[in-house]
């Protein structure tokens, strides 16, 4: 009779899987809305009367990836620190980490708005692309820049919600943002003929709608957090220094990612407008996978952070193993999907034969990226949850400089655009391998 009853170990394992899925599923749904917006924008531009519009939104999007990813260190550092404070049941610190993050977000947003003209000129000075594409991209930039305060504040708020083990609220916010963004973009482009300005304005309206909802949700569930807030503690040197140390490492790590993807798109433009449009479409598949796996990475931030803060090493190790089970499954699944249906997926973005033919030349590189990169996404979540920021920074520096930029400059004159994809594949593989090598020292030996 007892043979059929689950053991205590099986029950614990099922509980870990349940915790992972409870956080990862809402995070996956939340994250998938990000590439969905890019896909809708590219679809709208890809079916206009010129490939210039598609390239312009891709180039303009690079600038905002550069800007917003530059502030993504806030979301990552806050989720890990808040999760550890949650695990220690330190209500005062969970409150203060939110407001320290918002302080930095609002200060940075003001600087972006004040210096937007200089940012636009510097960006297009550094980026490759034809004069026509840059002119359209500038129109896009000067509209979308006004979403910065809302977009950056949402990074902080969503990171804090996740640290509080709440993935449901970020999902609700993302769903609202996407519904409004897609509806407005179709309206402004299809009905009002606003072209590149239309998709930018849709983003602005959607981000402020999401910020409004996040404030409502905060007061609905977390109003008591304000009782632990002390404005004088925002600038307490020790706590602010600890926050900035972790944030600084993640900031450098994030800028390495920005540099890789900005360089990738910029150099694609240097190979011509058709190559830029083709690589922009292919990158959507990479982003789709990365945002999907980031659902499990975000779950890792919350779960690992909670166990790390509570000094519960056995549960932390068990959670790590289960996270890798899921990562392996989806890494294989996405690779098979892209191999079988990759050509059909490309037609979602454009009907132009020249772009489709160009993209098909590089599709095979993309097919293998999920397989070699899934471990890096899981490790990112584990490292952030354990605030192992220095190791995370170092592995990213090595991977970007040695394994992305190195191969590109060695081979771009002989194999052209293929050198970009070779570098991207090696960059992803190097992250997986190097983080695996350093994980024991960076994460697990810190716990008793």
Closest CA to 178 of 48, 305, 32: 32
Give 292-339 as a DSSP string: HHHHHHHHHHHHHHHHHHTT-HHHHHHHHHHHHHHHHHHHHHHHHHHH
pLDDT value of position 416: 96
Mean pLDDT of 310-324: 93
What is the residue-averaged pLDDT of the chain?
Answer: 86
* Position 2 in a domain: no
- Residue 242 structural domain: 7-446
Return the ∠ at Cα 357 (arms to 351 and 363), rounded to 5°. 105
Q: For residue range 157-177, what is the model confidence (pLDDT) as tens digits? A: 999 999 998 989 999 998 899
The tokens 């590089």 sit on which residue? 362
Total domain count, the chain: 1
Query: Would you tell me the crossing angle of helices 363-385 and 418-442 to the nearest 10 degrees?
Result: 20
In angstroms, rounded to a whole number, what is the distance separating the alpha carbons of residues 159 and 173? Answer: 12
The tokens 């599709």 sit on which residue? 363
The answer to whether residues 423 and 283 touch, using CB atoms and an 8 Å cutoff, is no
Name the pLDDT band for 77 (thresholds 50, 70, 90): confident
Mean pLDDT of 149-164: 93
Mean pLDDT of 250-257: 88
Of 85-89, 193-197, 297-301, 350-354, where does mean pLDDT reach its minimum? 193-197
* Position 382 in a domain: yes
* Position 250 in a domain: yes
């Amino acid at each position: 009779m007892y043979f059929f009853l689950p053991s205590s170990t099986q029950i614990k394992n099922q509980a870990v899987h349940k915790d992972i899925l409870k956080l990862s599923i809402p995070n996956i749904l939340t994250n998938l809305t990000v590439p969905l917006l890019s896909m809708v924008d590219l679809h709208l531009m890809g079916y206009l009367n010129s490939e210039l519009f598609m390239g312009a939104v891709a180039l303009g999007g690079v600038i905002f990836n550069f800007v917003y990813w530059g502030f993504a260190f806030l979301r990552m550092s806050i989720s890990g620190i808040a999760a550890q404070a949650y695990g220690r049941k330190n209500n005062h610190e969970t409150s203060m980490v939110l407001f320290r993050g918002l302080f930095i977000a609002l200060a940075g947003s003001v600087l972006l708005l004040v210096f937007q003209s200089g940012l636009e000129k510097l960006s297009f000075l550094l980026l490759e692309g034809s004069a026509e594409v840059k002119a359209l991209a500038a129109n896009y930039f000067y509209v979308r820049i006004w979403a910065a305060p809302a977009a950056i504040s949402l990074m902080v708020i969503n990171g804090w919600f996740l640290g509080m083990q709440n993935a449901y609220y970020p999902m609700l916010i993302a769903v609202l943002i996407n519904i409004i963004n897609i509806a407005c973009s179709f309206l402004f482009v299809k009905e009002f003929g606003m072209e590149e300005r239309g998709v930018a304005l849709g983003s602005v309206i959607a981000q402020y709608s999401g910020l409004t909802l996040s404030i409502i949700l905060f007061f609905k569930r977390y109003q008591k957090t304000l009782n632990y807030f002390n404005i004088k503690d925002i600038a307490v040197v020790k706590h602010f220094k600890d926050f900035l140390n972790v944030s600084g490492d993640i900031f450098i790590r994030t800028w390495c990612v920005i540099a890789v993807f900005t360089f990738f798109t910029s150099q694609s433009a240097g190979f011509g407008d058709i190559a830029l449009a083709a690589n922009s479409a292919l990158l959507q598949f990479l982003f789709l996978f990365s945002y999907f796996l980031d659902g499990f990475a975000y779950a890792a931030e919350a779960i690992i952070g909670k166990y790390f803060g509570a000094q519960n090493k056995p549960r932390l190790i068990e959670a790590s193993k289960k996270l890798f089970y899921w990562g392996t499954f989806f890494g294989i699944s996405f690779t098979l999907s892209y191999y079988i249906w990759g050509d059909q997926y490309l037609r979602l973005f454009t009907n132009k034969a020249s772009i489709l033919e160009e993209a098909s030349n590089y599709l095979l590189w993309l097919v293998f990226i999920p397989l070699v990169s899934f471990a890096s996404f899981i490790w990112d979540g584990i490292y952030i949850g354990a605030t192992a920021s220095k190791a995370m920074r170092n592995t990213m520096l090595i991977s970007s400089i040695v394994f992305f930029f190195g191969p590109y400059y060695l081979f771009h004159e002989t194999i052209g655009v293929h050198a970009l994809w070779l570098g991207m594949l090696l960059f992803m593989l190097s992250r997986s391998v190097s983080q695996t090598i350093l994980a024991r020292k960076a994460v697990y030996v810190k716990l008793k």
